[in-house]
Structure 1
Amino acid sequence: MSGIAAPLHGVAAVVLDTDGVITDSAHLHAAAWKGAFDTFLREHPPQRPDDQRPFDVLVDYPLYVDGRARRDGATAFLVSRGVRPEPAVVDAIAEAKDSAYGERLRAGAPVPAFRGTVDLLHTLLSEGVLLAAASASRHAGQLLRRAHVVDLFDAVVDGTEAARLGLRGKPHPDLFLEAARRLRTAPGATAVVEDAVSGVTAARRGGFAVVVGVDRVGGPTHRGRLVAAGADVVVPDLGELVTQGAVR
Structure 2
Amino acid sequence: MIGLPGAVTACLFDLDGVLTSTATLHRIAWQRTFDEFLAHRSDGDRAPFTLHDYTAFVDGRPRADGVRTFLSSRGIQLPEGGADDSPDAETINGVGNRKNEALLRLIDEKGVQPYPGSVAYLEAARAAGLKIAVVTSSANGEHVLEVAGLTSFVQARVDGITIVEERLRGKPAPDSFLAGARALGVAPGEAAVFEDALSGVEAGRAGGFGYVVGVDRADQADQLLEHGADIVVDDLAELLDGAK
Q: Structures share a fold, TM > 0.5?
A: yes
2:47 is the counterpart of 1:53: yes
Q: Match for 1:25 among 10, 22, 26?
A: 22
Q: Match for 1:67 among 60, 65, 74?
A: 60
**CA–CA distance in 2 between the matches of 1:216 and 1:16?**
15
The runs of 4+ residues in structure 1 deviating greater than 4 Å are none
Label 1:153 to 1:52 Cα distance change in 2 as closer, same or farther (>3 A): same
Listed as ranges, the matches of 1:1-248 within 5 Å are: 3-5=1-3, 7-47=4-44, 51-56=45-50, 58-88=51-81, 89-105=91-107, 107-218=108-219, 222-243=220-241
**CA–CA distance in 1 between the matches of 2:42 and 2:207?**
38
**CA–CA distance in 1 between the matches of 2:197 and 2:38?**
24
The residue type paired with residue 155 of structure 2 is: D
Deviation of residue 163 (structure 1)? Answer: 1.4
TM-score of the aligned structures, taking structure 1 as reference length: 0.90
Label 1:184 to 1:217 Cα distance change in 2 as closer, same or farther (>3 A): same
SS at match of 1:52: coil
The residue type paired with residue 202 of structure 1 is: A
Q: Is the Cα contact below 8 Å between 1:79 and 1:85 reproduced in 2? A: no
- Cα deviation code 1:101-126 (max 9, x no counterpart): 12223x34220111111111111111
Structure 1: which 5+ residue stretches go unaligned? Answer: none
Deviates further, 82-91 or 25-34? 82-91
**CA–CA distance in 1 between the matches of 2:155 and 2:187?**
15
**CA–CA distance in 1 between the matches of 2:242 and 2:42?**
49
- Cα deviation code 1:175-212 (max 9, x no counterpart): 11111001000001110000001111111111101000
RMSD: 1.6
SS at match of 1:59: helix
